[in-house]
Amino acid sequence: MAIYRYSRWDGTQTGFDLGADDILSEIQDDLMYHGDVGYALRRMLQQGFRDRNGRHVEGLQELLERIRERRRQEREQHDLGGAYEEIANELSEILGQEREALDALEREARSSGDQRRREITEEVVGERRAELGLLPEDLAGRVRGLTSYEFISSEARERFEQLLERLRGEVVQSYLDQVAGAAAATGAAEREHIRNALDALNRMMEQRAAGEALDPGFEQFMEQYGDLFPGDPKDLDDLLEQLAQRMAAASAMLASMTPGQRAQLQELMDALLGDMDLSWQMDRLAGNLRAAFPGEQWGRRMSFSGTEGLGLAETADMFQRLGELDQLENMLSGAPQPGALAEIDLDRVRELMGKDASASLAELQKLARRLEDAGLVEQREGRLELTPKGLRRIGQRALEDLFKHLSKDRLGGHGIARVGVGHERAEDTKPYELGDPFNLHIERTLRNALRRQVAEGELDAGARPGSAGPDSAKLAVRFPVRLAPDDFEIERTEHQTQCATVLLLDLSLSMPLRDNFLAAKKVALAMQSLISGQFPRDYLGIVGFSDRAREIRPEQLPAVSWDYVYGTNMQHALLLARRLLARHHGTRQIVMITDGEPTAHLEGGEVFFNYPPVPATVDATLQEVLRCSREGIRINTFALDATGHLRQFVEKITQLNRGRAFFTTPETLGDYVLVDFIENRRQLARRRSRGAWGLPR
């Protein structure tokens, strides 16, 4: 009896499947780098991954390599000549057995002492030996000759008949993949049954091609001839596809042999069938199937270098396996996304390549479906795109990744002074002080007054507020309440610290070329997630810039990628940022992330580009910096992998604007930006808090 143990979930146990969050985590960097969910999933498909149990799930590259290795093993193991060499060897053994019987018969007659018997026996034995000596060297000729030959040895005759029965079954099986008993026992009645089935099948195909009604229909056909088609076809198309794969494999088998091998085997097949009408029906079926399924491996040549021979049916099986491996390779190579793998038969993959490959492919099939079921992605016009939920999750993950790198002593929670001017009520109160907003808490103010009057003896101690006496509720009526300044208690309010920020994100071609783009985009996603989640009243605008600048809406951010153009137009980016911030009040700032000097600016609405930077571009950019300064907009610049010229330019911006400059690397960019942003918010909160209490600003 199986024993199962259960324990409380504590978050450390591994699950059974890779969840949607795990998949999103795997594709996160590719998604942020290229902005395409489909591309990120294709990369994951190609490379594979590890599931929750640490098991490696093979990607398409590894599966394709498995397919090529399996195909190579088949070709290096087998020899097509074995398909008839085995038959030739068995025929030689049968002939040897017959000759031994002739020799024994002759010896027996000579030792009998009967002259007449000896003469007759020698005459018969001589005729048989002559007949055997005249047998052709080719297999088909030997089979035809022995079919009409009168064996002396009953054992040799029985063995030859068994060989013929087996070979006839293999011939039919090599063409039709039959494993039912009727195909193996190909006597006259069985051959007639197969011939009638092929004729009915050919007529159905030809009627369908001509647009006529099928007679007989598929159901009636299967009732009459279903014993010949054990593959359990669902409909006529399924049956024809099975037959096409098998007959194409037989065609490829013949095409891959040498001309001599092919001629011998073809003649042997005709001799074994012994019925020209059955051969014609098979050729007719092959022609119809070739027209209906031109994409199969008809007549495809393959080379083999092994030594292991196979029978006719086994050789056809091998070619069918090779054909299916080719089809699987084509499907895996051309799979644009996980959903395209859904049509692959996992059971057949298990038979061809083993259970590990089948299990890996099953996991790959589920990737997109799990993301869709979790509501993280959806199909839009044939493309996978992030949903709003997916957008939030990507931003949260980017924020978590960056926060993990920040030391606790540098950055704790985003705490600010809670008490001060604002319009959001807190749950607690405080004594009123000069300068506070007069949000009076009536109940506590009256309670303070009553307590003071009791303490001063103005009220009877037995009727103190809070006593259980029946007259306690009438105190306010029976005794006038006198309010003193110290009695007033007000409701606390939370600070409504508001900050408007525009993030300028460099999208020029130098960013990915220098491996700076991914870090910059992670920061943009993290800031968007931080502000929308923890500071919903703050404003964050995003402007991407290369040769031109453009506003990027938050929902567009995950799909943003770099521009395949040269040019770093800071002037246009600052212009757009200034216009966005003009709609907002309070603290306003620009955060610019770049790795290059300004090499482009606008002149009359047109882009002027030059590298190295010319004075006109530098001056136009600095003029926009001055306009931001006059409007009270702070510019904080984060320069990635700064050269000497970029460092000088950023320092010039800092001098003109009184903002800050950070010279950083992709690895530390997120630390600087998040710390700077949050520290700015803290300072703003502290300044407003001091102002609310009447302290010096």
* pLDDT tens per residue, range 533-554: 777 778 889 999 999 999 998 8
Which H or E run includes 549? strand 549-552
**pLDDT of 331:** 80
DSSP-derived letter for residue 663 is E
**pLDDT of 388:** 74
**pLDDT of 100:** 92
Q: What's the rounded Cα separation, in Å, for the pair 608 and 571?
A: 11
**pLDDT of 545:** 95
Q: What is the mean pLDDT of residues 292-312?
A: 78
**pLDDT of 294:** 84
**pLDDT of 693:** 37
- Could you write out the three-class secondary structure of 457-508? CCCCHHHCCCCCCCCHHHHHHHCCCCCCHHHCEEEEEECCCCEEEEEEEECC
Burial class from Cβ neighbours inside 10 Å (0-12, 13-18, 19+) for residue 660 reads middle
**pLDDT of 222:** 87
pLDDT digits (tens, 9 = 90+) for 220-270: 888 888 877 776 788 888 888 888 888 888 788 777 877 777 777 777 777
Whether pLDDT at 108 is above 80 = yes
Query: pLDDT-based confidence at 117, cuts 50/70/90?
Result: confident
Q: What is the mean pLDDT of residues 77-85?
A: 73
Q: What's the rounded Cα separation, in Å, for the pair 549 and 570?
A: 8
Q: What is the mean pLDDT of residues 340-364?
A: 80
Query: pLDDT-based confidence at 182, cuts 50/70/90?
Result: very low
pLDDT digits (tens, 9 = 90+) for 368-380: 777 778 777 777 7
Whether pLDDT at 520 is above 90 = no
Q: Which of 200-214, 564-578, 581-595 has the highest mean pLDDT?
A: 564-578
**pLDDT of 546:** 94
More confident residue, 624 or 320: 624
**pLDDT of 276:** 62
Q: What counts of helices (H) and strands (E) characterise the chain? A: 25, 16
Query: pLDDT-based confidence at 27, cuts 50/70/90?
Result: confident
Task: Reduce the DSSP state of residue 310 to 3 states and report it.
Answer: coil
- Long-range contacts of the stretch 215-224 (C-beta < 8 A, 24+): 224/197, 224/200
Angle between helix 82-112 and helix 259-273 axes, rounded to 10 deg: 60
Whether pLDDT at 293 is above 80 = yes
**pLDDT of 14:** 45
**pLDDT of 384:** 75
Query: pLDDT-based confidence at 478, cuts 50/70/90?
Result: low
More confident residue, 659 or 619: 619
Torsion of CA 624, 626, 630, 636, to 10 degrees: 80
**pLDDT of 625:** 95
Query: pLDDT-based confidence at 696, cuts 50/70/90?
Result: very low
Task: Reduce the DSSP state of residue 17 to 3 states and report it.
Answer: coil
Report strand pairing: 56-57 vs 49-50.
Answer: antiparallel
- In degrees and rounded to multiples of 5, residue 296 shows phi and psi of -75, 170
Q: Which of 2-6, 472-476, 671-675 has the highest mean pLDDT?
A: 671-675
- Residue among 438, 443, 542 nearest 490 (CA): 438
- Residue among 696, 693, 695, 687 nearest 436 (CA): 693
Kindly provide the residue ranges of all beta strands, DSSP E only, lying in 345-418, ordered along the sequence: 377-380, 383-386
Tokens of 337: 């996304």
State the average pLDDT for the chain.
Answer: 77
Give 636's strand partners. Answer: 591, 660
**pLDDT of 502:** 92
**pLDDT of 569:** 95
Whether pLDDT at 557 is above 80 = yes
The domain 499-692 is classified under which CATH number: 3.30.930.10, 3.40.718.10, 3.40.50.410, 1.10.3720.10?
3.40.50.410
R_g of the chain, CA atoms, integer Å? 44
Of the CA atoms within 13 Å of residue 665, those in its CB half-sphere come to 2
CATH 3.40.50.410 in the chain is located at: 499-692
- Residue among 241, 248, 240 nearest 221 (CA): 240
Count Cβ atoms below 10 Å from residue 236 Cβ, excluding itself. 18
Query: pLDDT-based confidence at 83, cuts 50/70/90?
Result: low
DSSP-derived letter for residue 482 is P
CA 224 and chain centroid, separation:
45
Task: Reduce the DSSP state of residue 514 to 3 states and report it.
Answer: coil
Q: What is the mean pLDDT of residues 206-231?
A: 80
